Amino acid sequence: MLWLIAAVLSAIFAGLTSILAKCGIKKTDSDLATALRTVVVLIFSWIMVFIVGSQSGIADINDKSLLFLILSGLATGASWICYFKALSMGDINKVVPIDKLSTILTVLLAIICFGETSNLAMKLIATAVLGIGIFLMAEKKKSEEKASGKAWMLYAVLSAVFAALTSILAKVGISNVESNLGTAIRTSVVLIMAWIIVFARGKQKEVKQLDKKELVFISLSGLATGASWLCYYYAIGHGLVSVVVPIDKLSILITVLFSYIVFKEKLSVKAVAGLVLMTVGTLLMVFFK
C-alpha cells in the first residue's frame, strides 16, 4: 500500500531532520532555527503543490476542511511552544517521556474518533508495548536541570495533547483536500506562529549573527522536514492514523543510527530494550491493522 510506504519515508526523513537540526543549533537559538526551518518547509511545500498542480484546488476547499487545517497548524505551533517551555523549566528526561505519550494519545483518539477498531485487542496490546518502550527509552541522568515546581509537567502534558490533536485534526482537514495542498496550508499557519514566538521573545535580531554553516544545516533540516510532512500527511490522508503515527515515530531508529555514526552517541542496555519494544509495538500495529 502506498500510504504505508509514505509512512516509512516520513519516518526516514523525520529521523534525518533531527540529526540535521542538531548540527544547526549548536550556536543558533532553537526558536529562531525553528522559524527559519519552517520557512524552508513552507517554500518546499508550495513548490510541491505547483509541481502536482493542486494549487487550483484552493478555491474548492470547503470551510470545514480549511478550519481543521488551520486548527492542525495551530495545534502544531502550540505543541512546540509547550514543549520548549517545559524543557526550560524541568528535567529533560521527565519532560520527553510525557511528550512522547502523544503517540499513544493519537492511537486512542483515532480509535474513538475514526472508529479504527479492527483487531482492537491486538492494537491495544501493541499500544501498551509501545508505551513501555517509550518509558525505557527515556533514560534518567544524574546531571539534569532542576524542575521549577510542577508547572513543567502541565506544559509537557499539553505538548503531548496538542501533538496528538495535530494528527487527528489534520486527518479531518485533508479528507477532501489534496495532501500536498493541505500540508502547505497548515505549514503557513505554523510559520506564522513560529515567527510570532521569535518576535515575542525579541530574538529576531539574532538573524544577522547566524553562522553560515549552521544555516546550511538548518535549511537541509527544513527540506527533510518538508519531505517528512508531505509523506506523513499523504499517509494519514489515505491510511489509518493509528498505524501511520507509530510508524512515523520509528524515526528514532534513523536518529539513533546517525547519532552513533555522526556523534558517536551510544545507547544503554535499557534504552536498547526500549527501542526494541517500540519497534515491536509498531510492527504489531502494522501487521494487525
Grid cell at residue 260: 552513533
Helices (H), 57-208: 63-89, 92-100, 102-114, 120-137, 151-173, 179-200
Confidence of residue 275 (pLDDT cuts 50, 70, 90): confident
Grid cell at residue 286: 502494522
Residue bearing the bigger pLDDT, 69 or 96 = 69
pTM of the model: 0.73
Residues 214-235: tens digit of each pLDDT:
899 989 988 998 898 889 888 8
Residue 31 pLDDT exceeds 60: yes
**Range among 177-181, 188-192, 249-253 with highest mean pLDDT value:** 188-192
Print the domain residue range for 64.
2-287
Domains contained in the chain, number? 1
Q: Which amino acid is at 278?
A: M
